[in-house]
Each structure stands twice: as structure tokens, then as C-alpha cells.
Structure 1
Amino acid sequence: MTDPRRVLFVCARNDVRSPMAEALLRHTDPADFLAFSAGLEATEIDPRTFESLEHINVDASGLRSKSLEDFEGQEFDYVITLCDKSREEAARMPFTGEVIVWNFEDPTTSERHDPFRHTLQEIGDRIKMFITVKTRPVPQAPSVSDS
């Protein structure tokens, strides 16, 4: 068994999209991944983030807004950016394995109906794909026997 891979989700403020992603990955595959989130700046998590997660029975306890500085010097297998503002910053971080760029509309400024649940659904779908791709077994070369 290998150690869980460390994933850091980064967004501008760490108030909606990145904490959603952190909670969803923790909920969906805690055996293979350790999930964290941070913002270019720390703020307060939007209460609608908690409401959206609770609505789909995802544990949001312990979620708090953190800044990138809180993770300085730590290594991550994956840094996943969730908005355009965080993309350039994450690419410059020296403590990453692979940087993955995702972009989701900010539900706090969205005109969509029920934007928080819509964003949560989009992030959840992307995380399921990420898990599928990153946990797929590596094909083994056929063994050569001396028979």
C-alpha cells in the first residue's frame, strides 16, 4: 500500500471553490488522497459553502480558510487551481509535483439558479474523474518465466 497522495486546491480567496474541493476529495477517496485547500489570501468561508456540502451529506467540519503561506515548505503531489487568479501563483510554487489547472465560475457572482449547488456538482464531477485517472492501476509488463 502506498502513502496517500497530497493534493492542494488553490483559489483566490479560499472561501468557496477550494474548500468545496477539499471536502469533496476527503469524502470521496480518503484512502488514496490527503486533501488541503488554500487561497492567495485567507478570508472567511462563505456560509453557503457549508450549506451546499451539508445538503449532500459531505462532512465540512474542520474547514477553515487558509492562505498559501500556511503551506510554505510543504510538498504536494498535485496542486489544483480552481480559478484564473490562482493559476499563475500555483505555477510558481516550488513545492509541487504536478500543477493541474481547472477553472470554475465563482458562485458568489454567478447569475445561475442555485449557483453554489451547481458549482459543487461541477467540482464533484471533476474530482471523480481526477480520482479515476490518478488511481488507475499501472499496467504491469508480462513476467518472463524460465519454464
Structure 2
Amino acid sequence: MKKKILVLCTGNSCRSQIAHGYLNFFGDANLEVYSAGIETHGVNPRAIAIMKEDGIDISHHTSNNVNEYKNLEFDFVLTVCDNAKENCPYFPAKVKTFHHNFPDPAKATGTEEQVMNEFRKVRDMIRKYTSDFFKNYVNVSS
């Protein structure tokens, strides 16, 4: 039976998209990953670029609103920012929820190189988090 994961953040443009990409990368045919936002801001081109640097293509992802998935049953919901956690809709009790507040790289300022370095820093944090999550909660023997 496939496990379903929903990753939520504010605009479904950076953090949740990065996490979605890594969970797909770590996962297999028994895992379905979705990402959504409380709002939709479109997938950030810088998020696409820094994931491509790590060999993961998220250019086909779309920015989705959490309400689009209200009729799906998830095994796990991951919130990757405080705003999503605080505004997350109700999910049935069987859903296991996890939260980690990552900095929003879209709010980085400075030169293009400084902004991209912030995106890379957040990407690396999310990679470690999703790798650990996958090992500890998804890829465990039943």
C-alpha cells in the first residue's frame, strides 16, 4: 500500500517544493508525495535552479493550494514553516504530522550570489531533514 505525504508551506514556491523533490528522490513506487501551500505563489525559479544543481528536476512541479487535497487521505503531513503549521487545515487523527520551521530563502536579500547561497543553505537543511524523515518514518520495516 502506497504511503502518501503532503508537504505544506506558505506559498508552495520554495521550501515545500524542495522537500517534495527530495522525498520523491528518496522514495520509490510505494510513496506518493504532494506539496501545497496555504496560498499559491508559483514555483520559484531559484528553487528549480538549486535543485537542478543537486541533480533533481522540479521544473515540472506546480504550486497548489492545500484545499485541492482536502479529499485525499495522507499518512504524513510535514509543515516546513510556522505559518503553514498555524494555518494548517484539520486532518484526520490517523495522519502523523511533523513540523520544522525552515528559513524562507525567497526573503533573502543582497547580491544574486548571496541570495543563491541562501537558497543553497536552506536546500541543504531540507535535504538532511527529508533524508532523516524518510529513513526514520517512511523506509522502516513494518
Q: Which runs of 5+ in 1 are unaligned?
A: 139-147
Corresponding position: 1:130 with 2:133: yes
Structure with max Cα Rg? 1
What letter is aligned with 1:43?
H
Count of residues paired in the alignment: 136
Q: How high is the TM-score relative to the length of structure 1? A: 0.84
Aligned to 1:55: 53
Q: Which runs of 5+ in 2 are unaligned?
A: none
Q: Which is further off, 89-98 or 78-87?
A: 89-98
Query: Is residue 6–residue 34 contact of structure 1 (8 Å, CA) maintained in 2?
Result: yes
Question: Structure 1, residues 96-134: CA drift from partner, whole Å, max 9, x if none?
Answer: 611111110001123694011111110010111111111
- Distance in 1 (CA, whole Å) between partners of 2:109 and 2:54 is 22
Identity of aligned residues (%): 25
**Displacement of 1:61:** 3.9
Query: Is residue 14–residue 41 contact of structure 1 (8 Å, CA) maintained in 2?
Result: yes
Aligned to 2:39: 41
Q: How high is the TM-score relative to the length of structure 2? A: 0.87
Higher helix proportion, which one? 2
Q: Give the CA RMSD over aligned residues.
A: 1.9
Query: Is residue 38–residue 88 contact of structure 2 (8 Å, CA) maintained in 1?
Result: no
Question: Structure 1, residues 66-115: CA drift from partner, whole Å, max 9, x if none?
Answer: 00111111110000000000002336234861111111000112369401
Aligned to 2:124: 121
- Distance in 2 (CA, whole Å) between partners of 1:91 and 1:43 is 19
Query: Is residue 75–residue 95 contact of structure 1 (8 Å, CA) maintained in 2?
Result: no
Query: Is residue 10–residue 86 contact of structure 1 (8 Å, CA) maintained in 2?
Result: yes
Change (3 A) 1:128 1:69: same
What letter is aligned with 1:124?
R
- Distance in 2 (CA, whole Å) between partners of 1:9 and 1:71 is 11
- Distance in 2 (CA, whole Å) between partners of 1:126 and 1:48 is 20
Query: Is residue 76–residue 95 contact of structure 1 (8 Å, CA) maintained in 2?
Result: no
